[in-house]
Amino acid sequence: MSGSIALPRPGRWLFDVTLTVVLLVSGIVALFVYTDDTGVVYRDGDGLGVLLVVAGTAPLVVRRRNAATVALLTAAAAVLLTVWDYGAPIAVVTMLIGAYSAGAYASFASAMAALAGLVAAAIGSLTITQIRFPDAVGVDLSAAVFSTLGFVGVWGIGRAVRGRRFYTSQLEDRADRLERTRAAEVRAALAEERARIARELHDVVAHHVAVMTVQAGGARRTLRRDPDGSIEAMEQIESTGRIALAEMRRIVGVLREPGTPSVTPAAVRTPQPGLGDLDDLVHKLQDAGLPVDVRVEGQAVGLPVGVDLTAFRVVQEALTNTLKHAGPTRAVVTLNYSPDELVVQVADEGHGLAAALGGDRQGHGLLGMRERVALYGGSLHVGPRDGGGFEVRAHLPYDQVAV
């Protein structure tokens, strides 16, 4: 008959225990010392009175778990205290707490039953007192109406608190579900991107192996007539092999991530793009309505194939986001070459939705971009620019010589 929402937490349990002890002690003391000027003659405190006070107060310890039952127990104890003429003003307090608890923690049907019992007990106690002590002051119809309104009001406050708590709980559950859904989507997107990266790196390794095969064949054919040229070819094979080995390790690192789909051998292979294909990408975006300027700073050097591919993908994803989200704007791509790293910067002047992608709810493309840059030991900054617009900046170190 209770219908509680949830078991009390330790803090609530401690509060209920403390409240019960205070009311219990106050009720027992009042049983022996309470008097008033209404004309009611109270019975002296004794063991029966103490038992009734305990029966009406102790159940408050479990008022959250058995709210309706506790409310009816407080009502029954109050009526019995009145029947035996005990002075127990604390019984009114326990009934009010029972009314609030029934409203806040019981189901609607149980709460209504508890409210009806409390109101009946209050009116019944006043009626008994008026019959036994007709000259008592303040024991009349107005007192009954006031008591009824008081219990209904406290009960209503409890129902309002219950509704608010239920609404908050629903919002929290919905937020948790959305967060779990988003986390699952991010994991799926990362798994898909890792598989794509692995396929592209597989093509890079295949390219290096093909180069090594050609170089080895050339070295074999020129070994006798041009030993120096053969040695140079062998050095190139060694350098290319080191690069291929490094890329192979990156593939293994990607595929070791849990939940990553296997790389499909039968997948269609196309030559992997690099910064050399940047002009074609820029022309396509300009045709789509996005003006793009490309700037090169420093001395351009030949990049390792994997770094070259990653730089191209960063520019491609950043410009695609600009086209989709930034609104009418222009973009500037800056390639800054230094002796040990390439800094790729893509900036726009848009004021649309692109800035939102730099926060906690990043797009899947940006997550994949971050994954690619991290694979080569680089760093990625994504966020709004000072003065408006949006910026993507990737630092890509290169630790081997390109071939």
Res 75 pLDDT > 90: yes
- Residue-level pLDDT at 402: 42
Spatial distance between the Cα atoms of 378 and 194, rounded to a whole number of angstroms: 16
Residue 123 has pLDDT above 80, yes or no: yes
DSSP state of 289: T
Please return the burial class of 279, using the count of CB atoms within 10 Å of its CB with bins 0-12, 13-18 and 19+: exposed
> Higher confidence at residue 364 or residue 341?
341
pLDDT range class, residue 262, cuts 50, 70, 90: very low
DSSP E strand boundaries for 202-300? 292-297
Pairing of strands 292-297, 331-337: parallel
Nearest to 77 by CA among 152, 23, 157, 7: 23
Does residue 41 surpass a pLDDT of 80?
A: no
Average pLDDT (309-315) is 86
Tokens 């900036």 -> residue: 347
CA distance 166 to 160: 10
Residue 125 has pLDDT above 60, yes or no: yes
Highest mean pLDDT out of 35-39, 172-176, 234-238, 287-291: 172-176
Judge residue 184's burial from the number of C-beta atoms within 10 Å of its C-beta, 0-12 exposed, 13-18 middle, 19 or more buried. exposed
Q: Which residue type occupies 35?
A: T
Residue 41 has, within 13 A of its CA and on its CB side, a CA count of 5
Full-model pTM: 0.51
Burial class (CB in 10 A: 0-12, 13-18, 19+), 138: middle
| pLDDT for residue 229 is more than 50 | yes
Tally Cβ neighbours within 10 Å of residue 324. Answer: 15
Pair of tokens at residue 303: 């990049």
Is residue 264 very low, low, confident or very high in pLDDT (cuts 50, 70, 90)?
Answer: very low
Strands 390-397 and 292-297: unpaired
What's the pLDDT band for 288 if we cut at 50, 70, 90?
Answer: confident
Contact call for residues 400 and 304 (beta carbons, < 8 A):
yes
First to last CA, the chain: 80
Asked if pLDDT for residue 375 goes beyond 80, the answer is no
Across the chain, what does the average pLDDT equal?
78
Q: Residue 121: is its pLDDT beyond 70?
A: yes
Pairing of strands 292-297, 379-384: unpaired
pLDDT tens-place string over residues 44-60: 889 999 999 999 999 99
Q: How far apart are CA 260 and CA 44, in angstroms?
A: 80
Residue 23 pLDDT class (50, 70, 90 cuts)? very high
Interval 247-257: pLDDT, tens: 666 555 555 55
